[in-house]
Amino acid sequence: MAGNWPRSAIVVGAGIVGLSTAWFLQERGVEVNVVDRAGVAGGASWGNAGWVAPGLAIPLNEPAVLRYGLRSLLDPAAPLYVPAGLDLGLWRFLLRFAANSGRRSWSRAARANLPLNEECVEAYEVLAANGVSAPVVDAPITAAFRTSRQAEGLLRELRRLEQVGQHVEHTVLDRDRLAEQVPLAGGELGAGVRIDGQRYVDPGAFVHALGEAVMRRGATVYAFEVDEVRTDDRKAIVRSAKGTVLSADAVVLATGAWLPRLARQWGVRVPVRAGRGYSFTVPVDRPVPGPLYLPDVRVACTPYRGGLRVAGTMEFRDPDAPQVPARLEAIIASARPLLRGVRWDERTDAWVGPRPITPDGRPLVGGTVAPTVYVAGGHGMWGLAQGPVTGRLLAEWITTGKQPEALADLDPLR
């Protein structure tokens, strides 16, 4: 190990990515403190579907998504929604996303994400075996469709993942086998694809357990918003608007959808926009043996505290904008005809969280123009799955000074 390796670090962001980076830095002997304006799991890490699902971590920038988005543009009931307005930055982002939605760009994104997908389950197992006391449940994820023809779209995506080197174990289900696998499946669902080898967690509980583990190892989690990050000859310095100052040998910016505000000054020009997702919890009258995916309406369902967490939609709004109740109603309207035994009118825990989307489908993980400032973010819908392995790889880079090969195509300065 190099003689000038960082002995201290500040991680800005207490979601799954930031806390995983903190944990793996501590594992390598670095003294770490964490800063977050809302505390642990205050952003997209609390209310998401909780899937650790490398088999479904398919880049968003594909032609089918672009075509779907164009058809549903400005429709407030559509799973993908872009509000009308004069946000020129958003429209520039969407044009860049469209330019990256060809087969070649999609394949590059899939290959870039491949190392994260290959090691994401193992990284969770490392955390769970070393003091992060929240269960990681091994269960297949079943995608359900009205017809076998609709299922072919997902099977085609899985074949494309195979072509770039990611093998996904899966089984095609007819109506009867789908009903056995998914007791909640309604009569309109007649075909399915079971994705094996996946995991799920209670995301809020897991991230809080990870935060507690990081604090037991000596970290302090500060609750303030970082207003400025700067460096001098020896240190990285973070400062709040009220004058709180912390310094360390290195700083990691892991602020999710808010990443550009602090990262832009360090040479990070790839835009990150908030693709907001909504979720809520409902009681059920039938067993929920594992997660369920409804691709046609873009809804994910996960066993959650005796009920069902239902998550969906992709809404491009400011990350701090309030909830839009119509988005929750749209999720219910789309999923209600497909499931039975769900008590939709008794929903609780309504939540909205901003997922950090890049236009090329690749996260931003690595160094910046300053040798003491690093970035980790832009994982889109797959931040929960890829957060721990991202933290492990970035901690390796920070403490050795050598870029892991797995991060080569995720350069924040691209």
pLDDT digits (tens, 9 = 90+) for 211-232: 999 999 999 999 999 999 999 8
Q: Secondary structure of the chain in the HEC alphabet?
A: CCCCCCCEEEEECCCHHHHHHHHHHHHCCCEEEEECCCCCCCCCCCCCCCEECHHHCCCCCCHHHHHHHHHHCCCCCCCEECCCCCCHHHHHHHHHHHHCCCHHHHHHHHHHHHHHHHHHHHHHHHHHHCCCCCCCEECCEEEEECCHHHHHHHHHHHHHHHHCCCCCCEEEECHHHHHHHCCCECCCCCEEEEECCCEECCHHHHHHHHHHHHHHCCCCEECCCEEEEEECCCCEEEEECCCCEEEECEEEECCHHHHHHHHHHHCCCCCCEEEEEEEEEECECCCCCCCEEEHHHCEEEEEECCEEEEEEEEEECCCCCCCCHHHHHHHHHHHHHHECCECHHHCEEEEEEEEEECCCCCCEEEECCCCCEEEEECCHHHHHHHHHHHHHHHHHHHHHCCCCHHHHHHCCCC
Q: How far apart are CA 215 and CA 213, in angstroms?
A: 5
Mean pLDDT, residues 131-152 taken together: 97
Q: How far apart are CA 278 and CA 313, in angstroms?
A: 6
Among 50-64, 132-146, 263-277, the minimum mean pLDDT is found in 50-64
* Count of positions (residues) in the chain: 414
Closest CA to 10 of 230, 261, 274: 230
Q: Residue 18: how many CB atoms within 10 A of its CB?
A: 33
Mean pLDDT, residues 125-149 taken together: 97
**In this structure, are residues 297 and 261 in contact, taking their beta carbons and an 8 Å threshold?**
no
**In this structure, are residues 32 and 195 in contact, taking their beta carbons and an 8 Å threshold?**
no
Please give the pLDDT value at position 2.
45
- Answer whether residue 101 shows pLDDT above 70: yes
pLDDT digits (tens, 9 = 90+) for 196-216: 999 999 999 999 999 999 999
- Answer whether residue 319 shows pLDDT above 90: yes
How many independent structural domains does the chain possess?
1
- Look up the CATH number of the domain holding residue 275: 3.50.50.60
Q: What is the largest CA-CA distance in the chain?
A: 67
Q: Which two tokens stand for residue 290?
A: 């594992």
Band (pLDDT 50/70/90 cuts) for residue 158 is very high
Question: Is residue 149 in a domain?
Answer: yes
Percentage of the chain lying above the pLDDT 70 cut: 96
Q: How far apart are CA 54 and CA 86, in angstroms?
A: 36
Between the CA of residue 362 and those of 43, 59, 108, 256, 308, what are the distances in Å? Answer: 20, 8, 9, 14, 30
Please give the pLDDT value at position 53.
97
- Answer whether residue 169 shows pLDDT above 50: yes
pLDDT digits (tens, 9 = 90+) for 278-291: 999 999 999 999 99
Question: Is residue 130 in a domain?
Answer: yes
**In this structure, are residues 45 and 134 in contact, taking their beta carbons and an 8 Å threshold?**
no
Domain containing residue 62? 8-410
Mean pLDDT, residues 86-103 taken together: 90
pLDDT averaged over every residue in the chain: 94
Q: How far apart are CA 60 and CA 383, in angstroms?
A: 13
Q: How far apart are CA 311 and CA 340, in angstroms?
A: 17
Question: Is residue 1 in a domain?
Answer: no
pLDDT digits (tens, 9 = 90+) for 361-376: 999 999 999 999 999 9
Question: Is residue 28 in a domain?
Answer: yes
Q: Which amino acid is at 381?
A: M
Q: CA Rg, the chain, in Å?
A: 21
Q: Which amino acid is at 203?
A: P
Band (pLDDT 50/70/90 cuts) for residue 5 is confident
Name the residue with tokens 């990691």: 252
Please give the pLDDT value at position 63.
72
For 62-72, give one letter per residue: b (16+ CB within 10 A) or e: beebbeebeeb
Please give the pLDDT value at position 70.
63
Closest CA to 354 of 281, 230, 235, 259: 259
pLDDT digits (tens, 9 = 90+) for 43-94: 888 999 999 999 999 998 887 776 666 666 667 777 777 777 778 899 899 9
Please indicate whether residue 344 or residue 80 has the higher confidence score (pLDDT): 344
Percentage of the chain lying above the pLDDT 90 cut: 88
**In this structure, are residues 20 and 388 in contact, taking their beta carbons and an 8 Å threshold?**
yes
